[in-house]
């Protein structure tokens, strides 16, 4: 005979076992009822490109059920809904009903860093729910560049960079990155402006300087530029000066 505790009410062991079995069955049912939608888990894109995410629900998922809601969400915001085709400068949404099931296509135009993240596709039916997701990863973005050699420093500036990069400096075959100073600033759209400079050695001015933007995320250089008397800024100034001199000779 089971002993009764003096600290609380007596509970029959059979009730405990029955409760455990009931909870186990309930959890198993909830897990089995969870449906997964067909989506592409990872999507990689360069800046400025258009990305299309497609979510498919097979007939085995939607059969004998009433469609309540079918949508794409990003950061808890609904971007796209089935039977409500949206077309804006940024988002295009289209739903379709085919013999193989339902599909919901979301197109994001002109991808920027703020578009990076996990997009959730959610399907709500009268009997159950299903979900899927796609993770957009934005990489190797670079807009304009500027380099100069003045005031005792060689400098390079990289605009619209994403993810943030690392500037490596060389003079000839020598790595002089340790002597450089680099800082960055991120704008509201998620892009970085990376600025770096290194002191110029007057006694060894004949050796050209090189600044290269290294992307740790993809483990490669995406830009490399010589900074010397032959760089764009100096060449432009030389051309202007020569033009003035030639004009004076002609006159």
What's the confidence (pLDDT) of residue 64? 78
What's the confidence (pLDDT) of residue 151? 75
Q: Please give the structure tokens belonging to residue 194.
A: 């990376």
Would you say 71 and 104 are in contact if contact means Cβ atoms under 8 Å apart? yes
- CB contact set of 156 (below 8 Å; sequence gap of 6+): 145, 146, 147, 167, 195, 196, 197, 211, 225, 227
What's the confidence (pLDDT) of residue 246? 35
Domains with residue ranges and CATH for the chain: 36-139 (2.60.40.10), 145-227 (2.60.40.10)
Would you say 198 and 169 are in contact if contact means Cβ atoms under 8 Å apart? yes
What's the confidence (pLDDT) of residue 98? 87
What's the confidence (pLDDT) of residue 205? 62
The per-residue b/e assignment along 115-138, b for 16 or more CB within 10 angstroms, e otherwise, is bbeebbbbbebeeeebbbbbebeb
Q: Looking only at Cα atoms, what is the longest distance across the chain? A: 123
- CB contact set of 134 (below 8 Å; sequence gap of 6+): 39, 40, 41, 42, 43, 53, 118, 119, 121
DSSP 37: -
What's the confidence (pLDDT) of residue 251? 42
Would you say 185 and 155 are in contact if contact means Cβ atoms under 8 Å apart? no
Partners of 106 in the β-ladder: 53, 93
DSSP 141: B
Closest alpha carbon to 160 in 204, 205, 213:
213
Closest alpha carbon to 148 in 206, 240, 209, 233:
233
- CB contact set of 138 (below 8 Å; sequence gap of 6+): 45, 46, 47, 111, 112, 113, 115, 116, 162, 163
What's the confidence (pLDDT) of residue 54? 97
What's the confidence (pLDDT) of residue 52? 97
pTM of the model: 0.71
Mean per-residue pLDDT pooled into runs of 10, the chain (251 residues): 47 48 38 73 94 93 86 95 85 91 95 96 91 95 91 92 95 92 93 94 73 92 83 38 35 42
What's the confidence (pLDDT) of residue 229? 58
């Amino acid at each position: 005979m089971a002993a009764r505790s003096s600290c609380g009410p007596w509970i029959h062991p059979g009730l405990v076992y029955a409760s455990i079995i009931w909870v186990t069955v309930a959890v198993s049912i909830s897990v089995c009822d969870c449906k997964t939608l067909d989506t592409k888990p990872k999507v990689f894109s360069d800046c400025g490109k258009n990305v299309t995410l497609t979510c498919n629900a097979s007939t085995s998922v939607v059969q004998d059920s009433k469609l309540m809601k079918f949508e794409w969400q990003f950061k808890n915001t609904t971007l796209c809904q089935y039977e409500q085709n949206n077309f804006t400068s940024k988002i295009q949404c289209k739903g379709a009903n085919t013999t193989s099931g339902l599909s919901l296509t979301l197109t994001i135009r002109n991808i920027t860093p703020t578009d990076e993240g996990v997009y959730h596709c959610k399907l709500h039916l009268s009997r159950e729910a299903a979900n899927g997701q796609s993770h957009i990863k934005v990489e190797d973005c670079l807009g304009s560049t500027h380099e100069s050699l003045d005031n005792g420093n060689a400098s390079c500036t990289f605009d619209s960079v994403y993810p943030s990069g690392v500037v490596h400096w060389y003079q000839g075959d020598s790595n002089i990155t340790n002597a450089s100073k680099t800082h960055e600033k991120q704008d509201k759209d998620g892009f970085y402006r990376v600025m770096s400079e290194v002191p110029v050695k007057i006694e060894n001015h004949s050796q050209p300087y090189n600044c290269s933007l290294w992307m740790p995320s993809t483990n490669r250089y995406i830009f490399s530029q010589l900074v010397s008397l032959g760089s764009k800024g100096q060449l432009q100034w030389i051309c202007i000066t020569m033009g003035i001199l030639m004009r004076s000779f002609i006159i």
